[in-house]
C-alpha cells in the first residue's frame, strides 16, 4: 500500500515512479522522473 500512495503522490507533482533496471542480484531501485521528456529539454 505504501508504494501505491507514493506513486499517487508523485504523479500529482507531475512525476512518475518506475522500476529501474538493476544489475545487482538483490534489491530493487525505483526511479522518479518527469512524465514528459520535454521537461528536460530547456
How high is the pLDDT of residue 38?
47
* Per-residue pLDDT tens digits for 1-42: 799 999 999 999 999 999 888 777 788 889 999 987 544 544
pTM of this prediction?
Answer: 0.63
Distance of CA 6 to the CA centre of its chain: 9
* Per-residue pLDDT tens digits for 9-18: 999 999 999 9
- Rounded Cα gap, residues 27 and 39, in angstroms: 30
Total structural domains within the chain = 1
How high is the pLDDT of residue 26?
82
How high is the pLDDT of residue 37?
53
CA triplet 23, 30, 5: central angle to 5 degrees? 155
Structural domain boundaries enclosing 33: 2-40
Amino acid at each position: 500500500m505504501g508504494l501505491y500512495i507514493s506513486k499517487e503522490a508523485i504523479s500529482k507533482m507531475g512525476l512518475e515512479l518506475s522500476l529501474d533496471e538493476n544489475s545487482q542480484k538483490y534489491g530493487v531501485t525505483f526511479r522518479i522522473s518527469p512524465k514528459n521528456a520535454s521537461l528536460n529539454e530547456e
